Amino acid sequence: MTPTQIALVQHSWTQVLPIRTQAAALFYGRLFELDPSLRALFRAPIAEQGEKLMDMIDVAVRGLDRIDALVPAVQALGARHVGYGVQPAHYATVGAALLWTLEQGLGPAFDAELRSAWTAVYGALAGAMQSATAVTPATSD
């Protein structure tokens, strides 16, 4: 992630916040369209889950300028998601649903440069989430 990408993501997120409820509904609709099996991972009502998602993205986007402080929280989130049944392949589906949602919500403003910025940010955060679950092989002496 470059400083320019971070600035683009942070600025565009301010445009999503006023439509956060609709964005969450779009996101989950698209997520379950892409992979209907993911619906089983959610026990809370989707509207409630959508609020949690938007809150989490808000914290992450606001924290991009302090990535060293953000990473441990993102890793802890990733560790919790394993307990919910999240598999590594799910991250690509979530990323696709997120980018589609941003495209719907931001319209023409979601150009190639902004898509690239969000892709970089999501990739970094998803990578941090997954790194918390990586198993380090034991070494033998």
| Predicted local confidence at residue 85, as pLDDT | 62
What is the mean pLDDT of the segment spanning 114-118? Answer: 97
Whole-prediction pTM value? 0.85
Q: How does pLDDT run across 59-79, given as a tens digit for each residue?
A: 999 999 888 888 777 777 766
| pLDDT surpassing 70 at residue 12 | yes
| pLDDT surpassing 90 at residue 137 | no
Q: Is CATH 2.40.30.60 what the domain over 3-131 is classified as, yes or no?
A: no
Q: What's the rounded Cα separation, in Å, for the pair 102 and 26?
A: 9
| pLDDT surpassing 80 at residue 50 | yes
Residues 97 and 31: beta-carbon distance below 8 Å: yes
CA 56 to chain centre: 8
Q: What's the rounded Cα separation, in Å, for the pair 12 and 114?
A: 8
pLDDT band at 131 (very low <50, low <70, confident <90, very high): confident
Domain ranges of the chain: 3-131
| Predicted local confidence at residue 58, as pLDDT | 94
